[in-house]
Chain A
Amino acid sequence: MTQTEVAEVMEPGGAQGVRRRDFIEVAAVSAAGVGALAVLVPLISQMAPSADVLAESSTEVDISAIAAGQAIKAVFRKQPVFVRHLTPVEISEADKVPLSELRDPQTLEERTKPGKKEWLITMGVCTHLGCVPLGTGQGEPKGEYGGYFCPCHGSQYDTAARIRKGPAPKNLVVPDYVFSSPTVVKIG
């Protein structure tokens, strides 16, 4: 910077001087703005799931005691999940249905793990408005298609838990899961 330029900057009444003054004030107000934004981070993220909730985001289910034709209701992320051991009859019933007849076309293969076609694992949350369908417990109505029946608005699911009748738009959701051993399923 040359002497004249310095003189211009230092000149209190000059245009440069005014600009330097404004700069400091703008910088101070900006710093306050940055600080206020930074404070929003904890205030907003405190509402996100806490560590204990996140730690329960996966569930292990022991399936060794579920005989063919039976189903259990397990808890996954505070919601019911249905683990169903399909019988060969139920499997063939599911396979018989042409995809063109389905509202949400999917085969049973696509809804189970390779080589584990008899294990149907779905969320127990009706895709209509979130009720819990019946059909897991002994003696509960399984609906016209032998799968699940939602008592709230009459949605009917088949043996592959696909929507067949009633207001629900989609099949019961298949969560992410892996067989961590032949008898233990890790969901989530």
Chain B
Amino acid sequence: MSFPWANEYKPKHPAMVWLDEKLPLPRFVYNAVGAGYPVPRNLNYMWNFGVLAGFCLVIQIVTGIVLAMHYAANTEVAFSSTEHIMRDVNWGWMLRYAHANGASAFFVVVYAHIFRGFYFGSYKAPREMIWLLGVVIFLLMMATAFMGYVLPWGQMSFWGAQVITGLFSAIPLVGDGLHQWLLGGFAPDNAALNRFFSLHFLLPFVILGVVILHIWALHIPGSSNPTGVEVKSESDTVPFHPYYTAKDGFGLAVFLFLYCAMLFFFPNALGHPDNYIPANPMQTPAHIVPEWYFWPFYAILRAFTADLTIPFTHIVLVPAKLLGVLAMFSAILVWFALPWLDTSPVRSGHYRPRFRKIYWALVIDVVVLGYCGGSPAEEPFVMISQIAAAYYFLHFFIILPLVSMTETPQPLPFSITESVLGKDEAATLAPAE
């Protein structure tokens, strides 16, 4: 679907006319990210992150394929093949740092993209499918990043694999069997490393596929915008090219500057020193922490320190370990329900005063959770993470539905054009709604 005023692809060069008849690929691109896609004219810089996320995926796939030409997925040599890349392969150090920091950059960008969606109600009808596919992408990214971190076979790789696959052993009845099946053994070893490598190579292409669906679904209703008011007339939109290609180009240049500054000058700042120690199944590091992008969820996992028992007895209903696992997965899976939990008819946080307050409270809460998740499992971090995790669940499961039912939104502009220009000619002509 597109708006009736969308530009139509009209190839001029005979070769392009010929190609368009046989395989309308140029037409497809033109309508997807070219002058044939009308986009709201009022998008702010928060709308740059979608394109940036796509670019990060490309960086990861390109550098990843190249690294796979030199890496060896075998516990005997995985660590030294990584060092071989760092020391002997031409530009190997740069490619590996680009990939490792690329993962972090990808998560920075995707978190910005997700929190933009939270604030501006991008998950609301008619864009539920875009949102659901986005959550699927995020889950796939987490799986990919986790398995990628195992590959260098350092201490954190090994113990991360041990701890994360151990989560599955918390599942009643089938847990232990499932755990062994996942690892292909009793502890992370060659079988696990090899399958993680295989899946780490596969999943990015699955992500790419879901990204295409995500963008396809986006083109049905068209992009959302900061007012949350749907596009009404041609003056509300501009063609994607050249307007947003230029803006995304600028965003991309700034992103690349920051990314390269990390890559060339602080390449290990986000990593953990223990991963430069080869994996040792006989000795656990003092503090096992995942990469920073998992910290908030890791904090939720660790916050469940008490078994759920029948009051005044010692009969355990749900052990703490299982609670933590359930809670951690629920913390992400709840995003799938978001379009139905937030029932407010107004999309944008700009016009929802109460929602805005709880939104910023959530941002702070997630930062606190992240800090606790990266800290050792000691007091006061455990107690703080318990309060912060409780607020996280309250926010999504109770406060947000309540606020969306009870708050009075501020008046919306008539149209995007009005919000930009202060007036809209169409508003005076249109019959009162």
Contacts and interface: CB of A to CB of B under 8 A. Distances in A.
Contacts of B62: 43
Contacts, number: 37
A43 B69 CA distance: 11
Interface in A24-80: 25, 28, 32, 41-43, 45-48, 50-53
Given A28-B249, A32-B249, A46 B95 contact: yes
Contact of B94 (A25, A42, A48): A42
B92 A50 contact: yes
B195 interface: no
B272 interface: no
A50 B246 CA distance: 39
Contacts of A43: 62, 66, 95
A47 to B, nearest CB: 7
A46 B92 contact: yes
Chain B, interface SS category = helix
Contact of B91 (A28, A32, A46, A53): A46
Given A32-B249, A43-B66, A46-B69, A51 B87 contact: yes
Given A28-B249, A32-B249, A43-B62, A50 B91 contact: no
A48 B330 CA distance: 48
Interface string B77-92: 0000000100111111
Contacts of B89: 46, 50-51
Question: Which 5 A-B pairs give the minimum distances between C-beta atoms?
Answer: A42-B91, A51-B88, A50-B88, A52-B88, A45-B90
Given A28-B249, A32-B249, A47-B69, A42 B88 contact: no
Most buried by A among B62, B70, B91, B95: B91
Contacts of B66: 43, 46
A52 B84 CA distance: 9
A18 to B, nearest CB: 14
Contact of B95 (A42, A50, A52): A42
A45 B92 contact: no
A42 to B, nearest CB: 4
Nearest to A52: B88
Given A50-B84, A52-B84, A45 B249 contact: no
Contacts of A46: 66, 69-70, 89-92, 95
A28 B251 CA distance: 13
Contacts of A41: 91
Contacts of A28: 249
Contacts of A25: 242, 246
11 contacts: A42-B94, A43-B95, A45-B91, A46-B69, A46-B89, A50-B88, A50-B90, A50-B92, A51-B88, A52-B84, A52-B88
Given A43-B95, A51-B87, A52-B88, 19 more contacts: A25-B246, A28-B249, A32-B249, A41-B91, A43-B66, A45-B90, A45-B91, A46-B69, A46-B70, A46-B89, A46-B92, A47-B69, A50-B84, A50-B88, A50-B92, A51-B88, A51-B90, A52-B84, A53-B88
A41 B66 CA distance: 13
Given A32-B249, A42-B95, A48 B90 contact: yes
Residue picked from A41, A45, A46, A48, most chain B C-beta under 10 Å: A46
A53 B249 CA distance: 40
A53 B70 CA distance: 13
Contacts of A42: 90-91, 94-95
A35 to B, nearest CB: 8
B378 to A, nearest CB: 43
Contacts of A32: 249
A25 B92 CA distance: 34
Contacts of B70: 46, 50
A100 B91 CA distance: 51
A70 B249 CA distance: 69
A50 to B, nearest CB: 4
Nearest to A51: B88
Most interface-central of A32, A42, A45 (chain B CB within 10 A):
A42
A36 B90 CA distance: 18
Contacts of A53: 88
Nearest to A29: B249
Contacts of B90: 42, 45-46, 48, 50-51
